[in-house]
Each structure stands twice: as C-alpha cells, then as structure tokens.
Amino acid sequence: MGLKGTRTYVGFGFGAIQAGLFLHEACLTGVFDRMVVAEVAPGVVTALRKAGGWLRVNIAHADQIEQAEIGPIEIEDPAQAPDRQRLIEAIAAAEEIGTAIPSVDYYVTAGPGSLHRVLTAGLRRKATRRGPRAVVYTAENHNHAAELLAAAVLDEIPAGERDAVRARVRFLNTVIGKMSGVVTDPAEVRARGLTPITPGGSRAFLVEAFNRILISQIRFEERGAEPPFRRGLAVFEEKPDLLPFEEAKLYGHNATHAVAAYVGMILGVPRIAELCDVPGMMAFLRAAFVEESGAALIRRHAGVDPLFTPEGYAAYADDLLARMTNPYLGDTADRVGRDPARKLGWDDRLVGTMRVALSAGITPRRYALGAAAALATIHPALLERDAPAEALLTPLWREAAPAASEQQRVVDLVGDGLQLLRSWRAAGRVPAK
C-alpha cells in the first residue's frame, strides 16, 4: 500500500488503536507521505525497524478476517535522545497527531521523554517556524483527555510563547467505539490464522472493521492568507458537543460490554461471541442497553441527535450487540472484564450507568446484576454465601464521597443482583424474564 501526498502524521503509542485505526486510516487516505510513531518499548521499536517500518493488522469483518499491510512507519523511542529529537522535528512538521496510550495518567511522566514534554518541544518549534497548524486526537477513553493534555503542554510553555502555540494547535476529544486488542498467545495466533505484527513475531493486532469515529469540532481562527485547516483523516466526524456521545459510549457500549463479560465469566463462558448460545442472554443484554441505558440517555439528551430517540438508540444497541459478538473478533470475557475494581467506580460504566438510570426514574436491575457479577469476580465467595456487598463496594467509592442515600440505593440494587446471579449460576442459564 503506497503513500502519496505531503502531510505528516505523528502518533504516540504503538498499540491496536494506533495501528489499526490511526495509521491504517492515514495510509488509506493517500495524503500522508510520512507517518511517525513514538513507542517506549525497545523490543517493539527494534522489531518494526527490522521489518523496514512495515506492520500488519488483522481486521475482523462480519464474515472474515482481512489482513492489511501498513507502512512505511518511522518508529522512535522518546527515551533515547536522537530518537526524541527526530520526534520533535516530526511534530513541528505534522498536521495531525494522535495519542493512543494506556491512560491519561501517562501524559506526564518523569524524564525528558515524557509525552507532554516531547509534544511541547515540537509544538514550540512549530510555532517559532510558523509550521503547519495541527490537531491532536486524544484516544485515551477519557471524557476530558484533550483538556488534560492541553493543560499539561501549556504548563510547560513559557508564558510569552503560549499564544503563538495556541494559534497552531487544537486538542480534540474522541469517541472511539472501535473494538480492538492484541492477541499475545502464539498458539492462538496460529490457530486463528492471524498475521503477526511483524514477520517472525508472536503478537498480532486484531481490530474490527468499524471506523465511524467522532471527534470534537475543530475551530481555528482563520487569519490572513492562511488556507482553512483541512483534516487528512476525513473519515472522522466532528461534533459541536461530544459529551452526549461520550456518555452513550460509556453508559451504553462500555457498560453493556462489561455486563456481558462479567456475566459470561460467572457462567463459565470464555468468549463474548459464545454468549449468543446462552439461552436468554442476548435478550437480557439488549433490554439493559435499550430499556435502562437508552431510556435514561434519551431523556437526558433528547433533541441533540437522532441517536437519542427510541429508534436511533435501539439501532445503536442492535449494531453494537452484533459487533460485540462477532466470532471473527473473538473477544474474551477476561479481556473485556479486566480491572473490575476500576469499572465498579462511582462514575464508571457499571455504577455510573446505574446512577444515570436512577436519576431518570428508571430502576437499573440488569446493570445492577452486571455490577454484582463484576464484584463476584473480585470476591468469588459472594457466589457461595449470602454476604453483604456494602463493605466491599464502599471502599471503591471513597474518593468520590457520594451522598449516603444514593450510595445505599446502589448498594441495595447490587445486593439484589447478587441474589439473582447466584440462581443464574446454579441454573447455568439466563431466565426468559
């Protein structure tokens, strides 16, 4: 897949979303003649360089897995001074930049190779040279990732230079509903016919074909003869207010995906796609998605977009449930359900969705059962005896300091969910009602 054009793309983090979304889409446009990635794992850097900068991703469609070759990519380790200087130069020349690292917590780290310091140095150089204006897509699955990264960068810039840098860059939040992962078991890579990231490697990127990505609306002040800013990654869709869509992803997509994973783990179902074979399971998940998450978010965001209508949200749910259970994606309950303590956080996908529903006058019994399942993956003894959930849940919410009455309502619902979950486990199935 050759490259044509004159644009530069720079990415931070070399994972499945960086490779299977940003780099893949940048390559498909034909307008980027240079793609550069920052990666802190020396072995990954060495492997991609050995492969001449070419990588492979596996793309799960509804009926097959397609392999795509992407490159050439320049890969640099920001911990190494020569690599870091090349990264800074690339940022100064770039029109589009994408961060796809594990968490916003890694924006600021110790040492000169910290993401925020490298990005700051490149943007300062861009401003000094009046280099091309750029946007920074933040893909860390946090509703305020763009604001956090912008604040960290601006704090590194001398006060007298900040306005010049602000004029050359916009930080954008994203809603990335693209499911992806890294298959690390060499036996599974071989059994599923996946292509490793680089020749001779043991790991494979696997992403779904979905690419409808939402981003914050870009607003540059147009001055003088400078042409209007145009994205090379034109497939992304700008929204003037991204928050309703972020909530639909967290309290709809992420929440239901988590319920599927945790209930699957309790019932002994290893892969999300295999939940289709559990009687009553898909009807249960759809009812949670539409009647609890959907009904609450439609009341909250009615009129914002056709998504927030009964018909629009039902279509959203049906599409996602089909994609979650795509056998070619082959997602595991363990992967989707990792870090259950975080996902039981007061504002996160399970308890957060319960609270959104309660605020709309809806009793979220299905998400409460999902929260109970998540709690039982941390404390398996809950499945064997009638133990109170409160002592296990409230430490997870200490920092949020919720009102006592709301906390008790959530605790009671999760307790009810635990009782129902025990009966489900004993029966090995999901009741029709």
Residue ranges per structural domain of the chain: 7-239, 244-427
Provide the pLDDT for residue 179. 96
Q: Is the peptide bond before 72 cis (omega within 30 degrees of 0)?
A: yes
Q: How far is residue 103 from each of residues 106, 112, 139, 140, 376, measured CA to CA in Å? A: 6, 19, 9, 5, 25
Report the candidate in 184, 329, 318, 179 with the shortest Cα–Cα distance to residue 254.
179
| 295's tokens | 């009904």
Provide the pLDDT for residue 122. 98
Provide the pLDDT for residue 225. 72
Measured CA to CA, the distance from residue 331 to residue 257 in angstroms comes to 11
pTM above 0.85, yes or no: yes
Measured CA to CA, the distance from residue 53 to residue 44 in angstroms comes to 11
Given the candidates 3.40.50.720, 3.40.930.10, 3.40.50.2300, 3.30.70.1400, the CATH classification of the domain at 7-239 is 3.40.50.720
Domain spanning 244-427: which CATH class is it, in words?
mainly alpha
CB neighbour class for 30 (10 Å; exposed up to 12, middle 13-18, buried from 19): middle
Instruction: Spell out the per-residue pLDDT of the chain, length 433, in tens.
Output: 444 578 999 999 999 999 999 999 999 999 999 999 999 999 999 999 999 999 999 999 999 999 999 999 999 999 999 999 999 999 999 999 999 999 999 999 999 999 999 999 999 999 999 999 999 999 998 989 999 999 999 999 999 999 999 999 999 999 999 999 999 999 999 999 999 999 999 999 999 999 999 999 999 987 767 889 999 999 999 999 999 999 999 999 999 999 999 999 999 999 999 999 999 999 999 999 999 999 999 999 999 999 999 999 999 999 999 999 999 999 999 999 999 999 999 999 999 999 999 999 999 999 999 999 999 999 999 998 777 889 999 999 999 999 999 999 999 999 999 999 998 888 877 765 5
Provide the pLDDT for residue 4. 55
Q: Is residue 74 within a helix (H) or strand (E), and if so which, with residue range? A: strand 74-76
